Amino acid sequence: MGSESAPDEQSASRREVLQDRLGTEAVTFVDTLGAEIATVVEDAPALAFDYVVGEVSDHGVSSNGHVHFDLTHGDATIHCVCFAYRRATVDADLDDGQQVAVKGDLSYYEANGSFSVIVADVVTIGTGQYQQTFERNRAILAGDGLLDPDTKRSLPTHPDRIGLVTSAESDARTDAVTSVRDRHPGVDIVVHDTPVQGDDAMASLMGAVSELDDAARVDVIVVTRGGGADVDLRVFNETPLCRVLHNTSTRAASSS
């Protein structure tokens, strides 16, 4: 009866084979690297903190009762998890847009290679900077009449041609085209490819909407993207894009 090598022995043997083949001893496996990263991250004095401050986004509670949210500041984001057993001890009613200080431990989750803060406590500081900006922009648009219900135009019931502004390779494009084709096979769809997040997104979205509107080739323009983190969707709230959509002669709709 043959004997099987232990997993560690198998890995060591496999590593030796790869070291010979690759010509270096500096060869490791993903799980080993993940464990080493976790050790470095969780034990590094330079990464120690009492509180980390940022704005809450994508706050939600999972089916097992754990609270998940992203903490953002500037262009950076880190995920936070408050386990169910600690929820009762956290004296804060979390909501998107709040600025908070989170006390906890930095953790590296090896299974998907992600970093998180395991939350021990949360202190509410106030309304986050982005939320303040959003409310100011909303007030400006309302003051200029862009949010007045009387300025809204009804969408055509049976358009012959739809202009779709989105990323050509996105799930949003696939979903939108599939939905239209399933319900109205004869409708023509003109897809205008544009990034929907990142530094170039707003200018590209505005240009795509304007080009479709100026060409007068479509009955309605749909600006859309798939789901994503709140930070990735913020371009859809920018006032220049809102004004371009409002000023189209073609009827326009936006979704995310």
Helix axes 129-143, 239-246, angle to 10 degrees: 30
Tens of pLDDT, residue by residue, the chain (256 residues): 444 445 567 777 887 888 888 888 888 888 888 888 888 888 888 888 889 999 898 888 889 989 999 998 887 889 999 998 888 888 777 888 888 999 999 988 888 888 999 999 998 888 767 777 778 888 888 888 888 888 888 877 888 888 889 887 778 888 888 888 888 888 888 888 888 887 788 898 898 899 888 876 788 888 887 766 667 777 888 888 888 888 888 866 565 5
DSSP 186: T
Global pTM reads 0.57
Query: How buried is residue 75: exposed, middle or buried, by Cβ count under 10 Å (0-12/13-18/19+)?
Result: exposed
Distance of alpha carbon 174 from alpha carbon 169, whole angstroms: 8
Q: Are 42 and 106 in contact (CB under 8 A)?
A: yes
